Amino acid sequence: MKLLVRNLTRSITEAEVRELFESYGTVQSCVLVMDKEKGSSKGFGFVEMPKTGEAKAAMKNLNGKDIDGNRIRVKKSESNE
């Protein structure tokens, strides 16, 4: 299941996001959308978890969680990328 993660701090790394989600299961991929000009995160990204149950647990537990002063939002991605 592909999850959209929004409202991340711009200084967070893919490794940090991956670590957050790995506490709920296997992470297949983790990609932050980067600002090409500034070289920093745009504040959102995608996490792919192969097991639906683990993805749903991550979504339930991480949505609204305060990470570095930001309440992140996690939902199922509508994207077919």
Alpha helices in the chain (DSSP H): 14-22, 52-62
Number of domains in the chain: 1
Residue 33, number of CB atoms within 10 A of its CB:
12
Four-residue CA torsion sign, 5, 10, 14, 17: negative
Q: What is the pLDDT of residue 80?
A: 52
Q: Is residue 81 part of a domain?
A: no
Q: What pairing do the DSSP bridges indicate for beta strands 73-76 and 2-6? A: antiparallel
Query: Which CATH number characterizes residue 69's domain?
Result: 3.30.70.330
Q: What is the pLDDT of residue 40?
A: 85
Tokens of 46: 């995608």
For 27-78, the pLDDT digits (tens) are 999 999 999 998 889 999 999 999 999 999 999 999 999 999 999 999 999 8
User: pTM score, two decimals?
Assistant: 0.92
Residues 1, 12: Cα–Cα separation, whole Å: 22
For 26-41, the pLDDT digits (tens) are 999 999 999 999 888 9
Domain of residue 69 covers 2-74
